[in-house]
A and B are shown apart, each in its own frame.
Chain A
Amino acid sequence: MDLIRLNNITKTYHVGEMDVPVLKGVSLGIGRGDFVALTGASGSGKSTLMNILGCLDRPTSGEYWLDGEEVSRLSTDQRASVRNRKIGFVFQNFNLLPRTSAIDQVTMPLTYTHAHLSEKEGRERAKALLDRVGLGDRGHHQPSQLSGGQQQRVAIARALINSPPLLFADEPTGNLDSKTSREVLAMFRRLNEEERITIILVTHDANVANTAKRNVRMVDGLIESGAFDGVTDRGDTTRSGAGASGATAAPAPLVTGTAGTAGTAANAEVTSS
């Protein structure tokens, strides 16, 4: 079964007396472990679709199955719980809390989690995640003491604290220079490949979109291409095929990515010493 399945989703905004249809019947399937880039021109309904996929908004009509659950009709609080358990968010402008240490940033979503980790377990988990994103020694730094790329990596660690199956990244490289962008994208790839986390990357940058295994392109409220690539009801054979094709595309960026991270870590050590 797919992680995400949208059936004929529409979204209409009411602006004054006028009805403005933004999504005009979108159907989409995304399998587990997929890495999808959602692209489209400004005004194509890309952000609206992303909000609905991220359970931040409700569609006007249609069905949205997330991890075997129909979430399109849930109340605000129920959707908040779904977001907490199943979705991690990474934003363009990082959205870190000001004057708060990296550890506290990462543990913040645990405040609203029902799976009861103790304070200590939470902090240990946060430390492990910071280690994983290469910031193990920056746990007590505040956002103002971190570079843009480091801030975004803290944000990624935060998104992963509840081990969500789905990770949303809304223009994650929009505020980063090309080198750190490559590092962050490489991290996404690694998370996708090593932890089988499904990632949806919203971007308008073709280069960024190319990092993903699959490209869903939106035009004028409809999906122009890529709606069901590699995920059909036919089951496991095709999905493993998609995985294989991803793996073949993988090596080049992964190598540069790891090299890049190692490089920054070395640089950081030089500057700090």
Chain B
Amino acid sequence: MLDISSGLSMKNSISQSKLHFRLRRLFIQSESVRGYTMLSPTFLAMVLGLAMPLVVLFTLSFWLQEYLDFIRTFSFANYFEFFQKPIFGKLLLKSIRISGLVTIVTVLLAYPMAYFIAFRIKKNKLIWLILITVPFWTSYLLRVFAWKIMLGYNGVINSGLKSLGFISEPLAFLLYNPTSVVITLAHAWAAFAILPIYVSLEKIDRSLLEAARDLGETAWMTFLRVTLPLSLPGVIAASLLVFIPTVGDYVTPSLVGGPRGIMIGNIIQSMFGESQNWPMGAAISVMSMFTVAIMISLFLWGTHSYRKRIA
């Protein structure tokens, strides 16, 4: 009797736990179903407005333009043209050079500022952060245009120096060259570099720095061996946040770049504007994205192996 009842109850409990398990699985499944349902509007909007346009862009780059129509047959002609005419490759490389320089300048200028706010400011850090973001609430166009006012032939610097009597003729070399593009972009994207670096510096455990000092490292060596490596994620994020958008920028080069300062974005824009060759513009865009993706992979690989080496 006893045996039977205990066997029964055991069987019972097994089936109960089985049932429990099934219910749990069902619950988990329904939970992820509910999660997916909740995610689906956003996901669908992104498929419709992001994935589809990119697929169409890629497809169009293999078509040809004939007056206002497209010739919808598959052809590599646009890509041949890209490699045949040196102007495209040259401009793409120049854009990457300019953006790379902008990234380096912006990050190098931003790092001490972020360090200052993270480590030297004890009270009211928020006020400093706001102080840094305030200039970026003006329109991007006007911020870029401000540099045209600064550097122009009759601009602030030239007319100021002239009325002070330092120069008699305006300095023409200030505006309309790659340097003015770099200065303007470094200014326009400053906040995007400071904030991620600041966040990664702020996260550093202060006791690590004290430990390094207690173990006899100098302030400079502590920075090099503890602070800098630990803030690297912020530096990487800042670099990408500045590099990626500036490669394709055409506003800044067309306002302050002049003929010598134009970048790949200007060519792409003109293919969709006055030149009216959308498939060629699409091919140039695809090539630019491809090149930028390679550059970023190299950069991430480089920083990754650096972090591994010092770890």
To the question of whether A and B form a pair in one complex, the answer is no
Interface residues of B (CB under 8 A from A): none
